[in-house]
Amino acid sequence: MRGPRAFGLSLRFVLATAVLLVPALAAAEVELRTGPAGRKVVTNENESQRARRLAPYLVAPAQDDLLPLIERHASGQGLDPLLVRAVVQVESGYNPAAVSNKGAMGLMQLMPATAADLAVERPFEPEANLRGGTAYLRGLLERFDGRIELALAAYNAGPGAVQRYGGVPPYPETLDYVRKVLSLWRGESLPAVVPARLQGGAGALPSARPVVWRTEGPRAHLTNLQR
């Protein structure tokens, strides 16, 4: 049986621990959000932290109204909405206010010059950003003959870099980007470590069945199915 002295020591330890924890809890930015189906969620996790935690999986955005926007603009450009969701998740973590250290803006991280070319005057507005980003991705697919890995590489590194290397540029960031987006889109788990250079030459990708941009009558779509 524990004596009064031992009990007193334990109580003082618990109280001291609680005192130490209070400032940490107080410092966290706890907020009340509305989650799926109108449920209220208390969280101290911001959009960037949520994106990092859920990065290995394709997840729904915290803002319920983004999914219908993604679906509409992706379908309007003949793109798979899951592909656009993967791009948005990797680019910004579904954060409409995201700004990169290079100045890319919004959900699909449009560079200022790209936004101007696409007549996107309010790049931090989800509707405008998705309209411009999906149009840009569609244009890259057409430019690179429907090769999705090249279009994604061009989205990250610029079409000029893809043309110079004749494939996915051997930049670690771009190789990582293409693998992440393709893995999320295909429902695969992301590798824990992505090598800077892959076997098979600059920009070589895993030997998955190639995804192509196919036109059938008036409709065009992405597919990895053979005829």
**Any bridge partners for residue 215, and if so which?**
220
Residue 15: φ, ψ to 5°:
-65, -40
Residue 210: C-alpha distances to residues 78, 152, 168, 172, 194 (Å) = 18, 14, 14, 22, 20
Put residue 78 in one of left, alpha, beta given phi > 0 → left and psi -120 to 50 → alpha: left
Q: Using alpha carbons, select from 196, 96, 100, 88 the residue that is nearest to residue 134.
A: 88
Known catalytic residue at 125: no
Considering the candidates 29, 47, 91, 149, report the single residue annotated as catalytic.
91
Catalytic residue numbers? 91
